[in-house]
Amino acid sequence: MAGGLQDRVALVTAAGSGMGRAAVLRFAREGAHVLATDISLEAAAETVALVQAEGGSAVAQSLDVTNLDELRSLAADIERDHGVLHVLYNHAGSPGGAGLGATEEDFDATVDINVKSSYYLTSYTADLLRKSEGRGSVIFTASVSAITGSPFSPLYAMAKGGVVMMMKSMALSFAPDGVRCNAVCPASVLTPMLRKFVDRRNDGLTDSELEDFVRATIPLGRAARPEEIASVVYFLASDDSSFVTGVAVPVDGGYTAR
């Protein structure tokens, strides 16, 4: 049986680990040809090797999402090689500085990675998405911090809040072309970034203490697996969500239900 993304072209940023890698694997299992990009070509290649070991189709490419020339070049390559883009998953992000002590350089870098990169990559691939014959889907990784705010990470919350409003505005812009735009808003996920966030509240926690902290803050009592986020990303990429656009979906184990 063909997968839900059979013969479609998908692009994933920050595909070298965590949720990005999980999304590449899920897209490929569903039949997509996936362009796995990451600032580390080695990490992207490791993701592609996993895809190919399962018989899927993917290619690796290095990509600095803050470099607009690289984004333009990538869009041109997709136009040349495929002529269409069905799925764009803007996943690249950065936690930014903690508290109110961020430097101007950190502020600019956080906005560049989380917001500016997604805006321009979506802009540069817009015509390719419009060629998808009503099957185009743009997905952004936001955060529960975009919905509830974060006293420990106001810079990150600001950036991810911007991602959500950008997504909603793009959903309206793209709607006449049949291209949908949505965002996932994870809470605690089992990736290296989890400790970076938790240590802002409780510096130096042991692994056991980190697990206790997550159990106390997430109603389901655990952090998400990257594959669980990827399942929602796949839903938003597929025809199963054909009437869903402009939505920020909490994938948070009940965090925002409090």
Instruction: Give the pLDDT score at 101.
Output: 81
CATH of the domain at 130: 3.40.50.720
Question: Do 205 and 143 sit in the same domain of this protein?
Answer: no
Question: Do 153 and 215 sit in the same domain of this protein?
Answer: no
- Burial of 245 per CB tally in 10 Å (0-12, 13-18, 19+): buried
Which of 89, 120, 124, 156 is catalytic? The answer is: 156
Instruction: Give the pLDDT score at 1.
Output: 46
Look at residue 256 and tell me if it is in a domain: no
Question: Do 194 and 162 sit in the same domain of this protein?
Answer: no
Question: Do 88 and 201 sit in the same domain of this protein?
Answer: no
Instruction: Give the pLDDT score at 128.
Output: 98
Look at residue 178 and tell me if it is in a domain: yes
Q: Rounded to two decimals, what is the model's pTM?
A: 0.95
Domain holding 237, by residue range, is 9-186+227-248
Question: Do 236 and 213 sit in the same domain of this protein?
Answer: no
Look at residue 52 and tell me if it is in a domain: yes
Question: Do 71 and 150 sit in the same domain of this protein?
Answer: yes
Question: Do 179 and 202 sit in the same domain of this protein?
Answer: no
The β-bridge partners of 22 are: none
End-to-end Cα separation, the chain, in angstroms: 41
**How far apart, in Å, are the Cα atoms of 191 and each of 22, 123, 195, 224?**
11, 29, 8, 9
Look at residue 167 and tell me if it is in a domain: yes
156 noted as active-site residue: yes
Question: Do 180 and 58 sit in the same domain of this protein?
Answer: yes
pLDDT in tens, the chain (258 residues): 478 999 999 999 999 999 999 999 999 999 999 999 999 999 999 999 999 999 999 999 999 999 999 999 999 999 999 999 999 999 999 887 777 888 999 999 999 999 999 999 999 999 999 999 999 999 999 999 999 988 888 999 999 999 999 999 999 999 999 999 999 999 989 887 776 666 656 566 677 777 787 888 899 999 999 999 999 999 999 999 999 999 999 999 999 998
Look at residue 2 and tell me if it is in a domain: no
Contact 124, 77 (CB under 8 A): no
Q: Number of folded domains in the chain?
A: 2
DSSP per position, 116-156: IHHHHHHHHTHHHHHTTTT--EEEEE--THHHH--SS-HHH
Look at residue 254 and tell me if it is in a domain: no
Closest C-alpha to 95, from 49, 18, 154, 42:
154
Question: Do 24 and 120 sit in the same domain of this protein?
Answer: yes
Length of the chain (residues):
258
Question: Do 114 and 203 sit in the same domain of this protein?
Answer: no
Question: Do 148 and 214 sit in the same domain of this protein?
Answer: no
DSSP class of residue 177 equals G
Instruction: Give the pLDDT score at 209.
Output: 75
Query: CB 101: neighbour CB atoms within 10 A?
Result: 8
Instruction: Give the pLDDT score at 196.
Output: 67
Look at residue 258 and tell me if it is in a domain: no
Question: Do 99 and 208 sit in the same domain of this protein?
Answer: no
Look at residue 47 and tell me if it is in a domain: yes
